[in-house]
Homo-oligomer: A and B are copies of this chain.
Amino acid sequence: MLPFVADLRLVDHHCHGVLRADVDRTGFEELLTEADHVSPLGTSLFDSSIGLAVRRWCPPVLDLEPHASAEDYLYRRRSLGAAEVNRAFLMAAGVGTYLVDGGLSPELLLPHAELAAVTGAESFEVVRLELLAERVVAAGCTAAGFADAVRTALDASDAVGAKSIAAYRVGLALRPERPSEPEVAAAAGRWLARGGRCADEVVSRFLVWEALDRRLPVQFHVGYGDSDADLHRCDPLLLTDLLRATAGLGVPVMLLHNYPFHRNAGYLAQVYPHVFVDLGLATHGVGHQAGRLLAEALEVVPFGKFLFSTDAYGLPELYHLGVLLFRRALSDFLSAAMASGDLVEADAVRIARLIGHENARRAYRLD
C-alpha cells in the first residue's frame, strides 16, 4: 500500500455507533449485510463478499489467524466481550474524526462522544431529520405549531450536518420548491391524524430546506440499504430538480452510499456545485472488489467533491473493514495511475488528502 495512503488521516463523514452489548451468531449475521435475517433458503451470510472480508481481516485483530472459521471467530469475539472487541477494531481502524448519525436505534449504540472516547478521536453529531421531527411530534405539538417546533429543535442542535432518509420514507423524487407554511401545517396535520413514523414528502422536503437554511450540509441516503427501501426510488437522479433548486444556497448536499448508482451520483457532483458523494457501505459491502467500485465512482466526480465514509453500524468490524478496504482501494487506484504514467506522486498525495479529510473539513467547516 502507498505509504501516504496507509497513513492518511481520515474524516469518516457518515457513520453510526457500535453496539454496547455482545451479539450471538444470528445477531452478527443480521448486522453483516442489509438482509434482515439469514434465509433458510440460502446459506450463512458469511458466504458473501463481506463475510470473506471479515474472515480475512478481522481474526488477526483478535489474535487469530486470517481466514479463521466463522465459529472460531465468533467464539473468540464472545470471549473477549463487546467493550474489548469495540476497542480493538476502532483502534485498528484509526479514524481521526467521526461524523456520527446516532439516530438509528440509539438505545443499542454508543453515542458519538463515547465512540470517539474509545480511541481519543474527534467526533461530531449529524442530526437525523426524520427522527428530530418524530421527537417533535412525540413531545406533543399541533399541526400549526409543527414547523416552529422543528425550527426550535434544529436551532438547539449542535450538529455539524443533517441527514435525510427521505429515500426510505418517500423516495428521492422530492419536489424542488420550499413548501409553504400552510403546506407544512397541512402535512403535519395528516401525520398527526395518521400517526406512525415520519413518511410524508412535504415534511421531508421541509426538513431539508430548514437544514439548508441553517447552513447545515444535508446528507441523503441514496442507493442500496435494507429491505425497507424501494431501490428504484433511491436513484440520486431523482433528486435532480431539488439539487437544481438548492444549488444557489451554497450549502453542501452529500449523496451517501450511491451503489449501484455511483456513476449517476458522480455526474451530479460534477455538474452541481454543492453536491458531494461517497461510497460508504458499498466499500466494505463488496469486500475485496472495492477497488473496481472506487475506480468507477471516481470516473467523472471532481476529486474535490468525493468524501470518505464507512457507514459502519453496530459491528466495530465494519469500521475496520470500511477503512482498510477504502485505503486499499484508493491505494490501488492511485498506484495504477502512477504506474501507467497518468499521475505523479505529488498529485496522488494531494488527491488522497482531499478525499481522506480535506474535502470533509472544508464542506462541514470543521475548523
Contacts and interface: CB of A to CB of B under 8 A. Distances in A.
Interface in A276-332: 276, 282, 285-289, 292-293, 295-296, 298-305
Nearest to A285: B300
Nearest to A274: B41
A42 B282 CA distance: 24
A197 interface: no
Interface in A46-72: 47-49, 52-53, 55-56, 66-67
Nearest to A340: B288
A33 B286 contact: no
Interface in A192-211: none
Contacts of A293: 299
B250 A260 contact: no
A161 B250 CA distance: 42
Nearest to A260: B263
Interface size grouping (class) on chain A: 35 or more
A303 B35 contact: no
Interface of A: 33-37, 39-45, 47-49, 52-53, 55-56, 66-67, 224, 226-227, 230-232, 235, 237-238, 240-241, 244, 247, 250, 252, 259-260, 263-264, 267-268, 270-274, 276, 282, 285-289, 292-293, 295-296, 298-305, 337, 340-344, 347, 350-351, 354, 359, 362-363
B43 A354 contact: yes
Given A52-B337, A232-B240, A272 B305 contact: no
